[in-house]
């Protein structure tokens, strides 16, 4: 906020001073926040608006859609309770359900590790004292800024079969490239590649996290004779693990919910969403079509809650596992 | 001291700014309705005809000072989402863009126009619409849509490429065999300094082309009672086989990735099956593209089978001003408006406008044989009026056809898998829907 | 020896970066090249890499055919309101979730996070119904208000992760010095996590700036449109400018507009990135 750097520096100095007092072993400290009731008071004061926002803007619609998952609802007529029929149809009869599950899982399994790894790699490079760092950072973030309608059209041009940039480059090497975007085998890998252009978001998060790694630690490790990998493994990685955790959790949630990209991919080529031959029929896209193209709001809600259950389970697992490898401040 | 003062002022200032922001945020961008005027809302997709529509609104309001029309434009890709969200919240527009393709799905929103159509038949010139188009406006004998546009499946061809290859231009009595012979001759493989030519385009991801062949071979998607899928009949399989043969056996239809539209525009495709009349203005922007249209080639069982699609307007079931909405609808589809829409470069659902368009053709106009487009209407059919037609086709059938044309499935296998999928769907949900 | 090695390393790093940068610049470069072509050049296949004759006039066509500054101001207003609300409510919430030991804290946090996990497509209609019942359709409140109630869960989560890396003893020490919680948050925790806060600001800005879905659902009047909605309308509008009909998108004009739309964002990022990536290190507290 408007607090000047010098001001908080002063307070930092003051804190630093008291820190030494606190840290003295055996010294009795008075911490007003040891009082649970005071903590609860401040907790609800600070988190209250967010919790209220959740109750106001999220909880209601979420519960409503949970109810609709057990209904036949065409948006006009009142919802009509049909028990588990939506779920039964999805799991046992719908020819598009399992293919869309498969597309989404394959995408998530491939895209998240690749995106997180390349974001981390580039962030590490950009954290080095290279010349014109600011410019490099801007360049690597650039594709993430472009409006989707325009950028997807550009990517489709790059991968176009006839005269696309990639196939021209391949032709120089004497290779005839396939019809990347319209072949059932290549369309999904191409979408993974397109999505990787947008690794700017996790990269910026990593860059922020790397700022929290004190330089002395590197120097100390350097003196101890640790090589680059050792320094990364034992200094950088533990210290940025909260940020890495964040990127993995959000990356997985985002990948499982992919919709915009898949929709724009079809639209930019004048293809029916999900084509060719369901190769890019992401779960989110399938759900959108059920909800808004075919009027099956109940079925779409059932799909949404199945996905919700999967995401909750994976995220819970992520949080569970994180206790083993994520290190927070003391 | 100064610091203290600043800290003291900071939060009030933030609050004041936020309050101003909220005041501005809460301002409605909708002008309040004029007292004493009836308000009609009209939702349409963002269209190149926007100026035409705005002119119509102005003129209509001048003629009817007691009615105010609000035109809400939504990008085509989001049209369904926006429309349904509005309808779900009880804010359905009085008048909206619709068409026969989505008619079965939009039925819960649409008002039965039959009594109004019958009452005002003379005024709207019901007989002026082509009879096939009149049939396409109906669902189980009731009118739900009034047409502004029509599209009819045609054979498009590039005259220059025909001349260069020494192939005579398509005639009205062409058969599938003629199409194959010409297509094979016109195909010229790419070489180092020649991008090559494909005899014909191929429409993937949509039923437009293959359904034409299925119907021309005597097949259909559904059994007459609509309860079973009929794609596994020998006739339907023959149609599917022709679609596959064009690509894999005779090798004259462009593979996936050669977009029919771009390919035709760039003289890389000598012919285009089905096409769309709304591309006509685009084709005419390419100065050296000498193109024309012809009736579709005749299939083994019949000439009939190409698609006919109508775009126009419907009135909401729950409108508070049905008479006023009907007046606006009549105004938008009246002959004078239809004439202006036609001048934008497509064909018209009205016979009177068609006569004007055919009569005005001059040498050098493209397409020359616009009369063929109107003649094709009598051999065209709308899509089956099945309540779940679109999702059945796109979700279940089309992926199998796509695989077939890539050579992954035989026509028999594709027909089998599509039929089984559709029948399972119908068995589970026919009548109530998923 | 050491010196030589670092120099070689420098060169390798620069080379790797340059190769990567080339790939990353591709989309914007193609956007700009396309924006300088003519309509027939757009339709040509295979397309030429460079325009035969750069059509700077496309930018004038766009400028004249499009109420850019109006949509720009609308977008900027919405983004500012959303950012202000996000910062003012997400920082305290993240602080609360990071530092207070309250029963069911993780459960409450999990509930908040869960709202990110249900696809928005199924909550649009009930939410729209509620906003419509309040008479807020065609106002900016549905776009802005959730942000003032900690609507940016992503931001809360990110800030919480950063806050938790701060030494707890620091905060305890400040408390002993008699600082109030509110003061600790804004004068100690937030400044120390400035890169994280600015990252959240940047992301919030970009989401708001590029958001198409919500403005499309809640706004009907052209005077209220934000840039992305304006862009979509322009695509259809531009077909008219080129004399075309449905079908072929006049990409040269669309790309010209997209370039103009992106430019302020790029400049803002270049200007801001130094502050938010180097802000803390420069003050010398950490290093």
Q: Residue B277 domain-assigned?
A: yes
Chain A residues in contact with C108 (beta carbon < 8 A)? 47, 51
Residue A89 and residue B434: Cβ atoms within 8 Å?
Answer: yes
Q: Indicate the Cα dihedral angle B118, B123, B128, B133, nearest 10°.
A: -40
Nearest residue to A159 (alpha-carbon basis) of A221, B359, A151: A151
Where are chain A's structural domains?
Answer: 31-68, 84-325
**Rounded mean pLDDT, C73-97:** 94
Q: Residue B273 domain-assigned?
A: yes
A17 pLDDT higher than 50: no
Which of A72, A95, A295 lies at the smallest CB-CB distance from B395?
A95
- Domain stops at, among C61, C81, C98: C61
Residues B288 and B397 in one domain: yes
C246 touches chain A (CB under 8 A): no
Residue B60 CA to residue B313 CA, distance in Å, equals 16
Q: Between these two residues, B3 and A235, which has the higher pLDDT value?
A: A235
Integer CA distances (angstroms), A53 to B163, C26, C34, C85, C86, in order: 69, 41, 44, 12, 12
| Confidence (pLDDT) at B131 | 93
Chain C residues in contact with A293 (beta carbon < 8 A)? none
| Confidence (pLDDT) at C266 | 83
Q: How many domains does chain B have?
A: 2
Residues C25 and C160 in one domain: no
Residue of B nearest to C44 (CA): B266
| Confidence (pLDDT) at A185 | 85
**Rounded mean pLDDT, A211-230:** 76
Q: Between these two residues, C246 and A142, which has the higher pLDDT value?
A: A142
Q: How many domains does chain C have?
A: 2
A32 pLDDT higher than 60: no
Q: Between these two residues, A127 and B355, which has the higher pLDDT value?
A: B355
| Confidence (pLDDT) at B430 | 55
- Domain stops at, among C12, C30, C61: C61
Per cent of chain A over pLDDT 70 is 88
Residues C217 and C250 in one domain: yes
Structure tokens at C189: 């925790």
| Confidence (pLDDT) at C4 | 55
**Rounded mean pLDDT, C18-25:** 89
A158 pLDDT higher than 60: yes
- Domain stops at, among C61, C83, C103: C61
Topology of domain A84-325 in CATH is MetI-like fold (1.10.3720)
| Confidence (pLDDT) at C255 | 86
| Confidence (pLDDT) at B425 | 83
Average pLDDT over chain C, rounded to an integer = 83
Where helices occur in B249-334 by DSSP H, the ranges are 260-265, 280-283, 322-333
Residues B238 and B273 in one domain: yes
- Residue-range definition of the domain harbouring residue B181: 154-304+387-429
- pLDDT-derived band at C248 (thresholds 50, 70, 90) equals low
| Confidence (pLDDT) at C101 | 87
Average pLDDT over chain A, rounded to an integer = 82
Give the strand order in the sheet containing B291-294: B271-274, B154-158, B291-294
Q: Residue B7 domain-assigned?
A: no
| Confidence (pLDDT) at C40 | 75
A196 touches chain B (CB under 8 A): no
Residues C54 and C145 in one domain: no
Q: Indicate the Cα dihedral angle B164, B167, B172, B173, nearest 10°.
A: -170
Residues C162 and C26 in one domain: no
| Confidence (pLDDT) at C142 | 94
| Confidence (pLDDT) at A28 | 42
Structure tokens at C14: 């620069």
Residues C226 and C131 in one domain: yes
Residues C74 and C210 in one domain: yes
A258 touches chain C (CB under 8 A): no
Residues B225 and B273 in one domain: yes
Note the pLDDT tens digit of each residue in C198-216.
889 988 998 898 888 899 8
Q: Residue B17 domain-assigned?
A: no
Q: What b/e readout covers C185-220, taking b as 16+ CB neighbours within 10 angstroms?
A: bbbbbbbbbbbbbbbbbbbbbbbbbbbbbbbbbbbb
| Confidence (pLDDT) at B4 | 67
How close B273 comes to chain A (CA, Å)? 17
Residue A325 CA to residue B196 CA, distance in Å, equals 59
- Residue-range definition of the domain harbouring residue C17: 2-61
| Residue where the block lists tokens 């390419």 | B286
Residues B181 and B327 in one domain: no
Residue A296 and residue B433: Cβ atoms within 8 Å?
Answer: yes
How close C30 comes to chain B (CA, Å)? 19
| Confidence (pLDDT) at A270 | 65
| Confidence (pLDDT) at C237 | 64
Residue B172: CATH number of its domain: 3.40.190.10
Residue C89: CATH number of its domain: 1.10.3720.10
Per cent of chain C over pLDDT 70 is 85
Q: Using CB atoms and an 8 Å cut-off, which of residues 125-184 of chain C contact chain A?
A: 125-127, 130, 145-146, 148-151, 153-154, 156-158, 161-162, 164-170, 172-177, 179, 181
Residues C55 and C84 in one domain: no
Beta strands B306-315 and B380-381: pairing type?
parallel
Residue A184 and residue B424: Cβ atoms within 8 Å?
Answer: no
Cβ(B187)–Cβ(B197) below 8 Å: yes
Residue A266 CA to residue A256 CA, distance in Å, equals 18
Per cent of chain A over pLDDT 90 is 32
Q: For an interface test with C, which of B23, B25, B280 has the most C Cβ atoms less than 10 Å from its Cβ?
A: B25
C57 pLDDT higher than 60: yes
Residues B67 and B173 in one domain: no
| Confidence (pLDDT) at B257 | 57
| Confidence (pLDDT) at C170 | 85
**Rounded mean pLDDT, A131-159:** 81
Residues C25 and C151 in one domain: no
A56 touches chain C (CB under 8 A): yes
Phi/psi for B226 (5° steps) reads: 75, 10
- pLDDT-derived band at A16 (thresholds 50, 70, 90) equals very low
How close A293 comes to chain B (CA, Å)? 7
Q: Residue B14 domain-assigned?
A: no
Residues C234 and C92 in one domain: yes
| Coil vs helix vs strand at C274 | helix
Residues C218 and C238 in one domain: yes
Structure tokens at B184: 């094979």
List, for chain B, all residue ranges whose pLDDT scores fall below the cut of 50. Answer: 431-434
- pLDDT-derived band at C74 (thresholds 50, 70, 90) equals very high
Note the pLDDT tens digit of each residue in A243-281.
899 999 999 999 999 888 888 887 777 667 777 778 889
Which of B74, B88, B281 lies at the smallest CB-CB distance from C243?
B281
Contact partners of A by the rule of 3+ C-beta pairs under 8 A? B, C
Residues B391 and B242 in one domain: yes
C46 touches chain B (CB under 8 A): yes
Q: Identify which of A158-172, B125-139, C167-181 has the greatest average pLDDT.
A: B125-139
Residues B399 and B272 in one domain: yes
């Amino acid at each position: 906020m408007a607090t000047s750097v010098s001001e908080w520096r002063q307070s930092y100095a003051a804190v630093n001073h008291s820190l030494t007092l606190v840290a003295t072993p055996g010294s009795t400290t008075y911490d007003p926040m040891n009082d649970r009731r005071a903590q609860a008071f401040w907790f609800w004061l600070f988190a209250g608006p967010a919790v209220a926002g959740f109750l106001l803007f999220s909880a209601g619609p979420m519960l409503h859609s949970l109810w609709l998952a057990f209904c036949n609802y065409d948006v006009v007529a009142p919802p009509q309770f049909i028990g588990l029929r939506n779920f039964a149809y999805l799991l046992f009869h719908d020819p598009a359900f399992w293919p869309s599950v498969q597309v989404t899982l394959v995408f998530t399994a491939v895209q998240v590790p690749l995106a997180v790894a390349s974001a981390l790699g580039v962030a590490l490079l950009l954290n080095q004292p290279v010349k014109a760092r600011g410019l490099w950072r801007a360049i690597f973030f650039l594709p993430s800024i472009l409006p989707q309608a325009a950028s997807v059209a550009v990517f489709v041009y790059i991968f176009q079969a006839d005269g696309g940039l990639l196939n021209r480059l391949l032709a120089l090497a004497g290779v005839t490239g396939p019809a990347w975007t319209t072949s059932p085998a290549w369309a999904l890998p191409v979408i993974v590649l397109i999505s990787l252009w947008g690794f700017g978001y996790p990269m910026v998060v990593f860059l922020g996290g790397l700022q929290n790694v004190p330089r002395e630690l590197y120097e100390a490790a350097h003196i101890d004779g640790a090589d680059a990998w050792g320094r990364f493994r034992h200094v950088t990685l533990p210290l940025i693990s909260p940020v890495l955790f964040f990127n993995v959790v959000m990356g997985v949630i985002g990948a499982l919910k992919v919709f915009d990209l898949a929709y724009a991919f079809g639209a930019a080529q004048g293809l029916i969403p999900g084509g060719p031959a369901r190769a890019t029929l992401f779960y989110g896209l399938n759900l959108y079509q059920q909800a808004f193209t075919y009027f099956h709001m109940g079925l779409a809600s059932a799909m949404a809650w199945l996905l919700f259950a999967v995401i909750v389970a994976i995220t819970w697992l992520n949080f569970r596992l994180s206790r083993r490898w994520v290190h927070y401040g003391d | 001291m100064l610091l203290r003062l600043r800290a003291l002022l900071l939060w009030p200032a933030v609050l004041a700014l936020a309050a101003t922001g909220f005041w501005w945020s809460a301002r409605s961008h909708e002008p309040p309705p004029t007292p004493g005027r009836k308000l009609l809302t009209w939702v349409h997709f963002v269209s190149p005809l926007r100026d035409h529509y705005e002119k119509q609104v102005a003129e209509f309001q001048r003629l009817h000072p007691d009615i105010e029309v609000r035109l809400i434009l939504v990008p085509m890709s989001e049209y369904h989402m926006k429309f349904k969200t509005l309808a779900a919240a009880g804010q359905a527009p009085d008048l909206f863009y619709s068409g026969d393709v989505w008619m079965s799905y939009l039925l819960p929103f649409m008002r039965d126009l039959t009594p109004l159509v019958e009452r005002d038949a003379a005024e709207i010139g019901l007989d002026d619409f082509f009879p096939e188009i009149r049939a396409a406006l109906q669902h189980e004998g009731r009118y739900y849509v009034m047409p502004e546009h029509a599209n009819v499946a045609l054979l498009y061809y590039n005259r220059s490429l025909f001349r260069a290859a020494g192939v005579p231009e398509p005639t009205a009595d062409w058969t599938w065999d003629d199409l194959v012979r010409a297509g094979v001759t016109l195909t010229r493989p790419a070489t180092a300094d020649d991008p090559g030519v494909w005899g014909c385009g191929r429409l993937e991801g949509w039923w437009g082309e293959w359904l034409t062949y299925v119907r021309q071979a005597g097949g259909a998607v559904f059994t007459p009672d609509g309860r079973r899928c009929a794609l596994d009949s020998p006739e339907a399989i023959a149609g599917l086989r022709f679609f596959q043969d064009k690509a894999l056996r005779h090798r004259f239809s462009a593979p996936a990735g050669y977009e029919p539209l771009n390919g035709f525009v760039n003289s890389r495709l000598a012919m285009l099956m089905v096409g769309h009349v709304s591309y006509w203005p685009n084709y005419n922007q390419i100065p050296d593209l000498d193109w024309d249209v012809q009736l579709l080639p005749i299939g083994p069982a019949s000439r009939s089978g190409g698609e006919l699609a109508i775009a126009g307007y419907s009135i909401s079931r729950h409108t508070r001003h049905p008479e006023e909405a009907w007046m606006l609808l009549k105004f938008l589809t009246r002959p004078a408006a239809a004439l202006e829409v036609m001048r934008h470069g497509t064909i018209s659902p009205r016979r009177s406008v068609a006569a004007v368009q055919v009569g005005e053709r001059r040498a050098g106009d493209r397409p020359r044989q616009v009369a063929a487009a109107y003649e094709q209407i009598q051999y065209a059919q709308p899509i089956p009026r099945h309540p779940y037609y679109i999702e059945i086709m796109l979700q279940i059938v089309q992926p199998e056809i796509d695989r077939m044309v890539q050579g992954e499935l035989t026509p028999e296998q594709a027909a089998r898998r599509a039929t089984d999928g559709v029948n399972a769907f119908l068995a589970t949900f026919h009548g109530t829907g998923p | 020896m050491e010196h030589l090695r670092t120099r070689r390393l420098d060169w390798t790093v620069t080379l790797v970066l340059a190769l990567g940068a080339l790939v990353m610049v591709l989309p914007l470069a193609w956007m700009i090249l396309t924006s300088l072509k003519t309509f027939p050049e757009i339709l040509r296949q295979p397309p030429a890499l460079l325009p035969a004759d750069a059509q700077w006039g496309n930018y004038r066509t766009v400028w004249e055919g499009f109420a850019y500054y109006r949509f720009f101001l609308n977008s900027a207003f919405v983004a500012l309101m959303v950012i202000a609300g996000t910062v003012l409510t997400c920082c305290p919430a993240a602080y609360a979730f990071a530092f207070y030991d309250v029963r069911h804290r993780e459960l409450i946090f999990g509930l908040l996070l869960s709202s990110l996990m249900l696809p928005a497509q199924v909550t649009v209609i009930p939410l729209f119904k509620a906003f419509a019942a309040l008479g807020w359709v065609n106002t900016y409140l549905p776009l802005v208000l959730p942000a003032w109630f900690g609507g940016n869960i992503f931001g809360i989560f990110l800030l919480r992760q950063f806050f938790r890396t701060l030494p707890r003893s620091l905060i305890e020490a400040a408390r002993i010095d008699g600082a109030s919680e509110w003061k600790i948050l804004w004068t100690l925790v937030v400044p120390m996590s400035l890169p994280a806060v600015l990252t959240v600001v940047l992301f919030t800005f970009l989401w708001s700036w590029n958001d198409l879905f919500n403005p499309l659902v809640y706004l009907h009047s052209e005077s209220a449109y934000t840039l992305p909605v304006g862009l979509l309308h322009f695509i259809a509008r531009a077909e008219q400018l080129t004399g075309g009909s449905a079908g072929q998108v006049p990409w040269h004009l669309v790309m010209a507009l997209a370039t103009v739309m992106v430019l302020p964002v790029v400049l803002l990022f270049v200007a801001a990135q130094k502050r938010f990536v180097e802000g803390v290190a420069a003050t010398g507290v950490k290093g």
